[in-house]
């Protein structure tokens, strides 16, 4: 049986940890930095977590400071008497708090992409003449086909962040039809470019940055590329040129204009529930 003083100490330690997480999440929410860790669809749920965490922290602190010893009956599984085990358990919770406090809030970049592996294909499996040209090979790709029909008539296909992966998927699915079309896209430079090409990448986030998948498009240039550094954000305008590399069909962009841009407030891209609707709403603006 554990002494009531030991139980109180554990209650108080847990209270401080919960309070720490509440303050950290509140800080991220106030600073607008939640977008670096979770998808926008999850933000409303996480933003109000500090309220529940503070209530639990206050409850544990009250029990630790003011509860009578008789109530602390130690009816549950006895606490470990090993200081090392207790330190290890609490350390698992304190470590992310410590890293969050010491490390800057910033978006994933080329170093994270290098560790996870950059994909050069879409991470999502993707008029009467248009109907015949863009026919979905299966029901799963029907949305890509519908999006492709709307993209094809555009003089310059602008890959919008709201439907970034879906647009790449549609072009990739019908890459022969899109060959030679003008395109404009933006992203970060993955690793250091060689003399005539680099990869323009984005991170696709499903739920949080733990599942972030880096993918990108190869950008080529007839002229030598100068003053382009890894992790720089660029906007590229050029021509779609499908190629086969390492046995895989990929789309590349022959750059005609390359300019550096500020990193966007929301650097990640997210899957869209209805890319066709999003594209059409953008056309109405």
Identify the helix (H) or strand (E) that includes residue 238.
strand 233-245
Q: So what's the pLDDT on residue 127?
A: 44
Q: Is the separation of the CB atoms in 205 and 212 below 8 Å?
A: yes
Residue extents of the structural domains in the chain? 4-106, 114-284
Q: Is the separation of the CB atoms in 186 and 169 below 8 Å?
A: no
- Domain 114-284: which CATH number of 2.60.40.10, 1.10.10.10, 2.40.50.140, 2.60.120.260: 2.40.50.140
Q: What is the mean pLDDT of each run of 10 residues along the chain (285 residues)?
A: 70 89 88 80 85 91 73 55 77 84 68 60 51 67 88 91 91 91 93 79 86 87 83 93 87 92 90 86 70
Q: So what's the pLDDT on residue 68?
A: 63
pTM: 0.66
Q: Which two tokens stand for residue 245?
A: 């590399």
Q: Is the separation of the CB atoms in 236 and 219 below 8 Å?
A: yes
The residue among 120, 116, 152 whose CA lies nearest residue 133 is 152
- Cα distance between residue 282 and residue 270, in whole Å: 16
């Amino acid at each position: 049986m554990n002494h009531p003083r030991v139980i109180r100490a554990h209650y108080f330690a847990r209270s401080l940890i919960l309070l720490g997480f509440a303050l950290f999440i509140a800080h991220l929410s106030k600073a607008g930095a939640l977008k670096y860790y979770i998808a926008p669809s999850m933000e409303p749920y996480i933003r109000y977590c500090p309220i529940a965490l503070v209530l639990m922290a206050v409850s544990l602190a009250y029990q630790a400071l003011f509860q009578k010893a008789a109530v602390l009956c130690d009816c549950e599984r006895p606490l470990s008497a090993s200081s090392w085990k207790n330190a290890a358990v609490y350390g698992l919770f304190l470590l992310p708090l410590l890293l969050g406090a010491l490390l800057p809030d910033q978006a994933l970049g080329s170093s994270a992409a290098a560790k996870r592996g950059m994909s050069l294909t879409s991470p999502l499996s993707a008029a009467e003449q248009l109907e015949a040209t863009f026919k979905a090979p299966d029901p799963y790709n029907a949305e890509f086909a519908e999006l492709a029909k709307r993209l094809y008539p555009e003089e310059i296909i602008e890959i919008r962040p709201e439907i970034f992966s879906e647009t790449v998927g549609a072009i990739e699915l019908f890459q022969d039809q899109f060959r030679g079309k003008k395109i404009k896209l933006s992203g970060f430079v993955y690793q250091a470019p060689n003399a005539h090409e680099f990869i323009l990448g984005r991170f696709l986030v499903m739920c949080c940055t733990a599942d972030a998948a880096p993918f990108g498009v190869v950008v080529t240039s007839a002229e030598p590329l100068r003053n382009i550094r890894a992790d720089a954000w660029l906007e590229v305008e050029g021509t779609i040129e499908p190629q086969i590399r390492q046995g895989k069909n990929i789309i590349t962009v022959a750059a005609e204009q390359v300019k550096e841009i500020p990193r966007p407030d929301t650097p990640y891209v997210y899957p869209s529930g209805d890319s066709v609707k999003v594209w059409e709403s953008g056309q109405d603006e």
